[in-house]
């Protein structure tokens, strides 16, 4: 570590705690902090570049955090596309914390520490309903309140609609169970801005670690490969000073909903469409789907005719241009983003990605054929065989309930049963005969024709 780097590191304070130090946090959230601190140091000036981050995971990943300690809390981000690679050395991490290694008190102490002012979360869509996060935050905040330290800003960076509102609700529900006075304190003293986050970061595989090692000339256990595109739009609702993330390209806004809806429906809705139908058709990666003319045409149709018309107005947005930029990003053949990875946790993803827009299209009397195919494809996916009779891996927090549904239901009637899963399908849709009929017809079409032919059939019917 050079002298200058040492001085830089010394200046960093534990002002930021990140929970859920997975692939995305490494390539997006923490990398953005690092770029903004680097820019602030360059700019000089009175404001110290002192936002240091402590990173944590709550369940798995002790070995990964230990490896980070071994590399001086430093790791590399490789932004890759067909035109080459750009490397970033991330140096703004000043500590790690894992309850299994350090004891849960260590995390509570961090949350209670006076230096801390921001907690960010990437705990997956399911982490707000089940898992240790809300309980851990409550205990830490209870200790913080008892120590007489002020509130905090808690910023969700997960792909959920109004993720700040949802985090606040989940935390208050937990706090009320623990101590109503704590719930009142959290409600009045803490802030929960919502944010739209966007950068495609596939999980690292043996092959991508090898690729990264070739780029770096050495292995990096926490190194991460991602696309060059980066976007982070944050509701300007922080308690006290906020980190200068605008230096890393972050946009601060008052009205976050149009940004979230655009990204969740146009990008993530398309990802789920491609992941389910593409994998059933035998495509193992998103770029392989894009190289298939039927999927290429279908996903553009979904974006322009089924997602874009449902969006709240976003001044200055060019939705056809945004759709073309998504097509280009999905076609990045360097990423090898696996369709099976995106198909994980579909029960937690369908509402904000496809069901909200379907409900709006039904209300408006607009067609939604591609969306119907995506919902139906989930039924096929749960049966567990693709069009070549290859097995499909199921990873979902509702896996047990879904697996018993599949086991105890005749395949022909599976879609009907699946639409009764209340945790996924809101009554307004589940009780709508048009919705049920359209999804069941799509299910039958995929079962008889196969995914690709079913899409082609619908595309020709819709043009």
List contacts with ligand CS2 (CB under 6 A).
Answer: 159, 198-200, 267-268, 271, 341-342, 349
Q: DSSP assignment of 406-420, as one string? A: HHTS-GGGHHHHHTT
Query: 156: closest CA among 199, 120, 118, 128?
Result: 120
- Tell me if 126 contacts ligand NAI by CB under 6 A: yes
Give residue number: closest CB to ligand NAI. 22
- Tell me if 131 contacts ligand NAI by CB under 6 A: yes
- Tell me if 421 contacts ligand NAI by CB under 6 A: no
State the distance between the two ends of the chain, measured CA to CA, in whole angstroms.
61
- Tell me if 201 contacts ligand NAI by CB under 6 A: yes
- Tell me if 23 contacts ligand NAI by CB under 6 A: yes
The whole-angstrom separation of Cα 355 and Cα 372 is: 10
- Tell me if 125 contacts ligand NAI by CB under 6 A: yes
- Tell me if 323 contacts ligand NAI by CB under 6 A: no
What is the size of the binding site for ligand NAI (CB under 6 A)?
A: 27
Q: Of these partners, ligand CS2, ligand NAI, none, which one is at the site of residue 52 (CB under 5 to 8 Å by kind)?
A: none
* β-sheet bridge partners, residue 191: 153
Q: Are 202 and 336 in contact, with CB atoms under 8 Å apart?
A: yes
Query: 378: closest CA among 399, 356, 357, 408?
Result: 399
Q: Of these partners, ligand NAI, ligand CS2, none, which one is at the site of residue 81 (CB under 5 to 8 Å by kind)?
A: none
Q: How far is CA 237 from CA 46, 255, 279, in A?
A: 24, 10, 40
On the CB side of 213, CA atoms within 13 Å amount to 11
How many other C-beta atoms lie within 10 A of the C-beta of residue 454? 26
Q: Of these partners, ligand NAI, ligand CS2, none, which one is at the site of residue 130 (CB under 5 to 8 Å by kind)?
A: ligand NAI
Closer by beta carbon to ligand CS2, 136 or else 341? 341
Which of left, alpha, beta for 299 (phi over 0: left; psi -120 to 50: alpha)? alpha
Q: Are 373 and 442 in contact, with CB atoms under 8 Å apart?
A: yes
Element (H, E) at 198: strand 195-198
Task: Quote the least distance from Cβ 138 to ligand CS2, whole Å.
Answer: 27
* β-sheet bridge partners, residue 156: 121
- Tell me if 356 contacts ligand NAI by CB under 6 A: no
Closer by beta carbon to ligand CS2, 335 or else 419? 335
- Tell me if 122 contacts ligand NAI by CB under 6 A: yes
Q: Of these partners, ligand NAI, ligand CS2, none, which one is at the site of residue 268 (CB under 5 to 8 Å by kind)?
A: ligand CS2
Give the three-state DSSP class for 24.
helix
Binding string to ligand NAI for residues 169 to 198, with x set by CB under 6 A, is what?
A: ----------------------------x-
Instruction: Report helix angle 133-146 to 104-112, nearest 10.
Output: 50
- Tell me if 104 contacts ligand NAI by CB under 6 A: no
Binding string to ligand NAI for residues 265 to 284, with x set by CB under 6 A, is what?
A: --------------------
From 18-26, 89-97, 353-361, 442-450, give the range in contact with ligand NAI by CB under 6 A. Answer: 18-26
Q: List interacting residues with ligand NAI (CB under 6 A).
A: 20-25, 57-61, 122-127, 130-131, 133, 158-159, 197, 199-201, 203
């Amino acid at each position: 570590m050079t002298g200058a780097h040492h001085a830089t590191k010394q200046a960093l304070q534990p002002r930021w705690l990140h929970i859920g130090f997975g692939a995305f946090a490494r390539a997006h959230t923490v990398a953005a902090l690092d770029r903004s601190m680097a820019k602030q140091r360059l700019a000089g000036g009175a404001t110290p570049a002192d936002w240091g981050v402590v990173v944590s995971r709550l369940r798995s990943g002790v070995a990964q955090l230990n490896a980070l300690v071994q590399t001086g809390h430093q790791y590399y981000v490789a932004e890759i596309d067909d035109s080459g690679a750009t490397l970033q050395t991330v140096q703004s991490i000043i500590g790690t914390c894992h309850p299994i290694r350090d004891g849960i008190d260590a995390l509570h102490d961090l949350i209670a520490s006076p230096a801390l002012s921001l907690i960010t979360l990437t705990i997956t869509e399911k982490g707000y309903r089940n898992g240790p996060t809300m309980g851990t935050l409550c205990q830490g905040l209870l200790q913080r309140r008892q120590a007489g330290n002020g509130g905090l800003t808690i910023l969700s960076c997960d792909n959920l609609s109004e993720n700040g509102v949802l985090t606040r609700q989940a935390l208050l529900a937990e706090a009320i169970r623990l101590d109503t006075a704590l719930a009142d304190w959290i409600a009045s003293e803490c802030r929960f801005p919502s944010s739209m986050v966007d950068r495609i970061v596939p999980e690292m595989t043996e092959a991508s670690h090898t690729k990264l090692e070739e780029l770096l000339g050495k292995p990096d256990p926490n190194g991460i490969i991602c696309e060059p595109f980066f976007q982070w739009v944050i509701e300007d609702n922080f308690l006290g000073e906020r980190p200068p993330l605008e230096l890393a390209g972050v946009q601060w806004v008052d009205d976050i909903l149009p940004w979230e809806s655009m990204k969740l429906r146009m990008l993530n809705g398309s990802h789920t469409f491609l992941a389910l139908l593409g994998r059933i058709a035998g495509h193992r990666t998103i770029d392989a789907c894009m190289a298939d003319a039927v999927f290429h045409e279908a996903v553009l149709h979904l974006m322009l005719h089924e997602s874009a018309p449902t969006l709240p107005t976003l001044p200055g947005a060019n939705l056809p241009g945004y759709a073309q930029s998504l097509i280009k990003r999905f076609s990045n053949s360097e990423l090898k983003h696996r369709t099976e990875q995106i198909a994980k946790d579909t029960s937690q993803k369908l509402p904000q990605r496809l069901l909200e827009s379907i409900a709006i299209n039904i209300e408006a009397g607009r067609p939604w054929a591609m969306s119907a195919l995506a919902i139906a494809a989930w039924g096929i996916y749960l049966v567990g065989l693709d069009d070549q009779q290859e097995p499909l891996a199921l990873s979902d927090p509702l896996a047990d309930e879904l697996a018993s549904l599949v086991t105890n239901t005749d395949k022909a009637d599976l879609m009907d049963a699946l639409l009764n899963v209340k945790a996924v399908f809101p009554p307004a849709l589940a009780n709508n005969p048009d919705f049920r009929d359209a999804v069941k017809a799509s299910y039958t079409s995929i079962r008889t024709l196969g995914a690709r032919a079913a899409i082609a059939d619908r595309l020709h019917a819709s043009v």
